[in-house]
Amino acid sequence: MPRLEMDLKPVRHITTDALGKPGDRVFYLQGTQDERVITLLVEKIQIQSLAVGVEQFLTEIGQKYPGLAEASDDFIESRMHIEPPVDPLFRVGEIGLGYDADNDLMVLVAREAAAEGEEAEEGGVVRFWCTRSQIRALCRWGVEVANRGRPICPQCGEPMDPEGHFCPKKNGHKKA
């Protein structure tokens, strides 16, 4: 049984954001319900994977329930940044999605990363219940935030620091 289990049903707002300089950023997932603010640590790749998964899941929901209105992806950037306090409850290990057709709510389930020697079921779980439009906006914003990182080397596909980087495609002879 999880040591901590929380449901924000429904969230007033859900977002992701990154703090820090490109190459040294920390990514967060945050949901608010009334005055309650829950912030979790996530990895950039989790946000990117979530965006792909949400789009696929929304397509499946649309096929299963053809009468549903399309989820919007509108967001206002100034409202998508995380709010204080930025005191993460835990680091996310797994993210899952679900759908409650009766209430037309999606659930984003964030499960705490297991510590060494600990079972995954022992960690915390937070469920963020949100509209399809809220989760689509979260993911579209998340992709935008992820893309604001370091530029990608056109030769090797690795991120470049402002000073350049050692590019294996150039055999180390010249910094890209």
CATH assignment of the domain containing 32: 3.30.2450
Regions in the chain scoring below 70 on pLDDT: 1-2, 117-121, 162, 164, 171-176
Model pLDDT for residues 116-141, shown as the tens digit of each residue: 766 666 789 999 999 999 999 999 99
Residue 161 in domain: no
Give the pLDDT of residue 115. 77
Assigned domain for 169 exists: no
With contact defined as beta carbons under 8 Å apart, do 39 and 82 qualify?
A: yes
- The reply to whether 90 falls in a domain is yes
> What pLDDT does residue 27 have?
96
- Domain total in the chain: 1
Within a domain: residue 140?
yes
For residue 152, the 8-state DSSP code is B
What per-residue confidence (pLDDT) applies to 7?
A: 96
pLDDT score of 176: 46
Asked if residue 165 belongs to a domain, the reply is: no
pLDDT of residue 172: 55
- Residue 155 covered by a domain: no
Domain range enclosing 23? 5-150
Give the predicted TM-score (pTM) of the model: 0.84
Asked whether residue 168 is assigned to any structural domain, the reply reads no
Q: Is 168 left (phi over 0), alpha (psi -120 to 50) or beta?
A: alpha
pLDDT recorded at residue 17: 94
Assess if residue 107 is contained within a domain. yes
Residue 38: closest CA among 1, 4, 86 = 86
